[in-house]
Amino acid sequence: MGPLRQDLRFAFRTLMRTPGFTAVAVLTLSLGIGGTTAMFSLVDGVLLRDLPFSESERLVTVWEDHRAVGGPIDEWTSPPTFRDWRNAEASLSGLAAVTDLQPTLLTGDRPRPLTGAGVTGEYFSVLQASLALGRGFTAEESQPGGPPAAVLSHRIWRQVFGSDPAILGRAIDVDGAPIMVVGIAGPDFRGPLIDADIWLPLVQAVSPACWDHRGCITVRTLGRLRPGASPEQATEELAGITLRIAENNPATHGDVGVTLIPLHDRLVGGVRPALLTLLAAVGFVLLITCVNLAGLLVARAARRQSEMAIRSALGAPRGRLFRQLLTESVLLAVFGGAGALLVVLWGVDFLVALLPPNLLALNTISVDGRLLAVAALLTVATGVAFGFLPALFATGHSLTTSRARAGHGQSGRRLRAVFLTAQVAMALTLLVGAGLLLRSLINVQSQDPGFRSDGIATAALALPAGRYPAATDVAAFFQRLSERLEADGRVADFSGVSSLPLVQGDMDVSFTTEADAARPETDRTPAVWYRQTLPDYFSLMGIRVVAGRALERQDAAGAPLVVVVNEEFVRRHIPSGDAIGQRLKFGRPGADSPWRTIVGVTADVRHRGLDQPVQAELFLPFAQAPSPFMFLTLRTVSGAAGGATVLREHLAALDPALPLDDVATLDERVAVSLGPRRVAAGLLTGFAGFALILTAIGLYGVVASMVGQRTREIGVRMALGATRRDVLRLVMGQGLRLTAAGIVLGGIAALALARLVTALLYGVTPTDAVTFLGVALVLGGAAALATYLPARRAAQLQPMNVLRAD
Amino acid sequence: MTAQQPIIQLEGIKKVFYTDEVETHALSDIHLEVEAGEYLAIAGPSGCGKSTLLSLLGLLDSASEGAYNLDGQPVANLTASERAQVRNRQIGFIFQAFNLIGDLNVEENVELPLTYRKMPSAERKKRVQEALEKVGMAHRMKHYPSQLSGGQQQRVAVARAVAGEPAILLADEPTGNLDSKNGEAVMELLRDLHQGGATICMVTHDPRFARYAQRAVHLFDGRIVSEEEAAAVSGEYTAQAR
C-alpha cells in the first residue's frame, strides 16, 4: 500500500503542477465518460434490460400479415380473428386484445380527457400484473351486454381520487355513462402498446357490428408463450388457425397471414438503430478523447525525459516508472469520472426526455448502482487506455545519452502522428454519420407536405356516445360549433377533420369503384384511408384541389353523396386518370352501400409523416358521414395564437363537460413528427462537433509541440534562406499530411460503417459523395486553422533569437 | 557593381537591444569594409558584440542606426522575404553548433538551401555532390547527422554553406564545438575555400584561428578597437600554406 500511496501522492502533485493541462483533460474526460455512460444507460434500459413484467421474454404480439395484398407485415386484427387465435393454446398460455380509446372522465363539473384502452379479460393475467386493489375483468364483463366496468391506473387513482380505496365498487362518469371501478393498477404498472389511464372491457369499446366482423381491423393482440414454447412453435400454430380463416373467408382473408413479434422487439425495434448508432458515436468520442490525451501525454513524456533519466539513474526499475506514469493517467481519469457523474445525472434525464414516451422500459432508466459501476469501470478502462502507450513509450528507452534522447524525441513524434491520424480518421467517420443524418433531415424537411402548417391551431374533440348517441346529434353539435366560431370576430378560418396529418389514428375502408363492380366477389377488395372534413378544410389547410371542386356546404346530409380523392388514389384506382364524375361505394362489389360521386381531386398530402410514402386517400363531407371524434382546425386573426382559448370558450358555452384534448399548433405537430430525426441528427452532430474540436486541439497540440521542438531547425532554415511562406508551408504541411492520411483512413472506415445507419437515412445513400467530400473539406478546414496558428508563430520567429538562444 | 567596390560596407552601425526598459548597446559606430575574396576574422571576448555583428552581416537582424551595403546595394529597406532571398543566394552560414537538421540526411541537409532557391533537381544534385566532394564527405551522403562525429558534421555544414556558391561565407565560431584536431581540419577547409576565391567573415575568440584570416578586427564593448592588417598574420598564414 505504501508505494501505491506514494505513487498517488506524486501523481496528484504532478497533475496539480500543470493545472491547464489537467483542467482540459478532466473536462474532456468528463464529457467523454459521462456521455458514454448516459448513452449506455439508455441502451441498457431500452434494449438490454427485460421489460418490467414477470418473465417478459415470453410476451409476444400477434399481427395479421398483409404483405401478400400490398399491406404491412404487422397489420392490426379484428375481434373475431383474435378470438380464433386465442385457441392456439398449445403454445400460448393466454392472448389478450387491446384497442385505443379516448374517454372523458367527468368529476364534478370538470371533464378530463384520458388515454384509455379497451382490453379483453386476459389482459392483466397475460402480463401477470398484480393490481393494487380489486380485480381485472370477469368473463361476464368481457361479453357483449356485460356490466360496464373499469380499472384505473394508479396515477389517476392518486391524482383524481386522492388514492381513496372506497372508489372501488363505485360508479364514475366516463363519456357520460356510469361505469363501476373494479380495480386499481399497481403503482409501477404501465401498459405496453398503450400507456393507459383507464382500462375498459374491449366489448364496451367496440361496436356490436364490429365485434363479429372480420373486416373490422380495430385491435392489437398481446400474448404469453407457454413455458418451453418457442416463438416459432407459436407462429406455426397461429399460421394453421389463420389458414383455416383464409379457407373460410377467401374474399377477405384469402391472402392474409400471421406474424409473431416478441413484445420487446415490437416496443424498441424502431429506436434500436438510432440508439446503437448514438452509442457507437459516443463511444467514438470517448476513444478520440483517449487518443487525444495519449498524444498529450506523449508530449509530456518528451518534456519529462530528464526526470525519467534521473529516476532511472537512481535505480528505479522500468516497471516502477511505468506504474508511476499509469497511476497519473488513472488518477486523471478518476477526476474525469467524478466530473462524468454530473454529466450522467443531467444527460440521462436529457436523453430520456428525447425518447418516445411509449417506451415502457423507460421505467428502469435511472442512475443506479449498476450504472455507477459501469461509469467506474469505464473510468479505469479509460485511464489505462490513454495512459498505457505513453507510459510504455516514456519508459521504453535508456535516456542517459543525448543521442538516445534525440531518437526518443523522434519516436515520440511518430507516436503522436499515429495517434493524430487515428483521431482524424475517427472524427471523419463521426462527421460522415452526422452529415448523412443532417442531409436526411434536410431532405425530409424539404419535402412538400401537401399542406401549410403556419398559423393553424388544432385540438382534438371527442363527443361521448353516451350523450351524443346518434349521428344526427353529432352533426348538430358540430353545426352549432361552426356557427358560433364563424360569428366570432376573432376567428379568421375554422374547419375540422377526423384525422389530422402527422397524427396517428387513420381509418381505412374497403371500397369498390363503379368500373370494378362486376368483378368476382372472391377478388380482393381494395382499401383506402378516409377522412371526414368540415367545410373549408382544404382552403384552411392549403391543400390544393387539382381537379373538380372541394367539399362545400352544399354537400349536406340530404344532398347527393360525394367524395374527394387524392392524386395517389387516381393513380392507383382510376386507370383512365379521369376521376371526376366516377362513382364508388364502401365495401365489396355486392355490398348494399350507396354510391358516392367523386367531385374533386386534391394534391397528395403526406399524412403519415414527411418521410413516409403518400397513401391513396379520400375525403368525405362531414355532414354526410358525421364522426364523433374530430380535430378542430382554426386560424384566428392573429394566426394560431389564442386559438385554443377561443375553442374552449365556445365549447364551454355549448357543453361544459366536453374537454379539448391534444392541443397544439400544426407547426408544433410538424416539429414533433421531425423530432426523432432531429434528435438523432442533433446528438450525432453534437458528438461529431465535439470530436472535431478535440481533433483540432490534438492537431494544434501536435503542431505546436513540433514547432517547440524544432525551433532551432526553423531558425536554421530561415538563416539558410527559407522565407516565412516556406516555414508556413513546412509546418502546416506536416499537420495537413497527417490530416490527409486520417481523412483517407477515415473515409474507408466511414464507407464500411455508414451502411449501419441506412435505416436512419432518407433521400441519401450511405456512400453519398457530397457528404463525404463536404466532411473532408470541413475537417481539412479545421485542420488548416489548427495548424495555421502554430505555423504562423513559427514563421514569425526571429532566426537570430533562435540561434542565439542555442 | 565594380570590382573595386567592397562587397560589405558598414557605415556608423549601431545596434541597441531593449529589455525591460534597459538599453543595451551591443554595437556602436561600426565602420567596416570587406573586399571580395577577403578572409576577415572578427575577434574579441565573449559579449563584445561579434556574433551580433555577424547577424547583421548575415541579414538575420537589422541595425538600429547606420548603413549597410551588401554588394553595393543598401539592405535597410529590404522586406523579410527579400532578406531571406539575399541570405539564400549571397550568404552561406557556418554555425558553431553545426545546426544540421536531424531528420534530414547529409545529402538533404546540403540540398536544403538550394530547394529554397527553386533550383531544378538535377542541378541541385550536381551541386550537392560537388560540395560534399569538396569537404570530403561525399561518401556519407545517406548518413544522418546523429551518425556523424562533430568534425564530420561541421564539414557537412561547410558543404551546405558553399553549395549555393554564395558571395560571402559567414562562420560563427566554427571550431567552438570541436576538439583541436577537428578544429584545425575545419580551418584548413576554410582556408582552401578562401584560396578558391571565397569571401569569408569568421567570428572567433581564439587567436590561433584568427591568424588564418588575412585581416582581423577586434571588438570590445561593441566597438572596433583595433585591426590587424594582412601583414601581421600573413607570415604565419603563408608559412602554414606552404
Q: Kindly list the residues from chain B whose CB atom is less than 8 angstroms away from the CB atom of residue A723.
A: 80-81, 84-85, 116
Q: Kindly list the residues from chain B whose CB atom is less than 8 angstroms away from the CB atom of residue A407.
A: 146
Q: Kindly list the residues from chain A whose CB atom is less than 8 angstroms away from the CB atom of residue B102.
A: 406, 410, 713
pLDDT of A205 reads 82
- Please give the residue of chain B at the shortest CA–CA distance from A410: B103
Give pLDDT tens digits for A678-697.
Answer: 888 888 888 888 889 888 88
Nearest to B60 among A403, A410, A799 (CB): A799
- The reply to whether residue A722 touches residue B95, judged by beta carbons under 8 angstroms, is no
Q: Kindly list the residues from chain B whose CB atom is less than 8 angstroms away from the CB atom of residue A733.
A: none
pLDDT of B231 reads 45
Q: Kindly list the residues from chain A whose CB atom is less than 8 angstroms away from the CB atom of residue B60.
A: 718-719, 798-800, 803
First vs last C-alpha separation in chain B: 34
- Please give the residue of chain A at the shortest CA–CA distance from B145: A403
Report DSSP state, residue B125.
H
- The reply to whether residue A721 touches residue B84, judged by beta carbons under 8 angstroms, is yes
Local confidence band at B45 (pLDDT 50, 70, 90 cut-offs): confident
Give pLDDT tens digits for B100-155.
Answer: 888 889 999 999 999 988 889 999 999 999 999 988 999 999 999 989 998 999 99
CB within 8 Å of chain B, chain A residues 708-767: 712-713, 716-726
Does B58 contact chain A (CB < 8 Å)? yes
Give pLDDT tens digits for A530-589.
Answer: 999 999 999 999 999 999 999 999 999 989 999 999 999 999 999 888 999 999 998 877
* Nearest-angstrom CA–CA distance, A408 and A405: 5
Q: Kindly list the residues from chain B whose CB atom is less than 8 angstroms away from the CB atom of residue A799.
A: 60
First vs last C-alpha separation in chain A: 45
- Please give the residue of chain B at the shortest CA–CA distance from A413: B103
Does B160 contact chain A (CB < 8 Å)? yes
Report DSSP state, residue A429.
H
Note the pTM of the prediction, 2 decimals: 0.75
For the beta carbon of residue A84, count every other beta carbon within 10 angstroms.
Answer: 18
A253 with A65: CB under 8 angstroms? Answer: no
C-alpha cell, A805: 538562444
List strand residue ranges (DSSP E) for chain B, in order.
Answer: 8-19, 22-34, 39-43, 65-70, 73-74, 91-94, 168-172, 199-204, 215-220, 223-228
Residue A196, amino acid: A
SS3 for B182? helix
Nearest to A721 among B51, B61, B87 (CB): B87
Report DSSP state, residue A451.
S
- The reply to whether residue B61 touches residue A800, judged by beta carbons under 8 angstroms, is yes
- The reply to whether residue A716 touches residue B160, judged by beta carbons under 8 angstroms, is no
Which residues make Cβ contacts (< 8 Å) with residue A459, sequence separation at least 6? Answer: A631, A632, A643, A644, A647, A660, A661, A662, A663, A664
Query: Can you tell me the mean pLDDT for B188-197?
Result: 88
Work out the minimum CA distance from B101 to partner chain A, whole angstroms. 6
Segment (H or E) for A309: helix A305-313
Does A804 contact chain B (CB < 8 Å)? yes
ipTM score assigned to the predicted complex? 0.81
Give the up-direction half-sphere exposure of residue B226: CA atoms within 13 A in the CB hemisphere: 5
pLDDT of A401 reads 47
* Residue to test with chain A: of B56, B81, B87, B162, most A Cβ within 10 A: B87
Length of chain A: 806
pLDDT of A554 reads 93
- Counting as low any pLDDT under 50, the low residues of chain A are 360, 362, 398-403, 806
Report DSSP state, residue A806.
-
C-alpha cell, A723: 522565407
pLDDT of A179 reads 94
Does A798 contact chain B (CB < 8 Å)? yes
Nearest to A722 among B55, B84, B95 (CB): B84
A392 with A412: CB under 8 angstroms? Answer: no
Q: Per-residue b/e over A467-506, b at no fewer than 16 CB within 10 Å?
A: ebeeeeebbebbeebbebbeebeebebbbbbbbbbbbeee
C-alpha cell, A763: 433521400
- The reply to whether residue A716 touches residue B84, judged by beta carbons under 8 angstroms, is no
SS3 for A172? strand
What average pLDDT does chain B have? 86
pLDDT of A374 reads 87
pLDDT of B181 reads 85
Does A406 contact chain B (CB < 8 Å)? yes
- The reply to whether residue B116 touches residue A722, judged by beta carbons under 8 angstroms, is yes
Q: Kindly list the residues from chain A whose CB atom is less than 8 angstroms away from the CB atom of residue B81.
A: 723-725
- Please give the residue of chain B at the shortest CA–CA distance from A712: B99
Does B85 contact chain A (CB < 8 Å)? yes
CB within 8 Å of chain A, chain B residues 91-130: 93, 95, 97, 99, 101-103, 112-113, 116-117
Planar angle of CA A207, A209, A214, nearest 5 degrees: 110
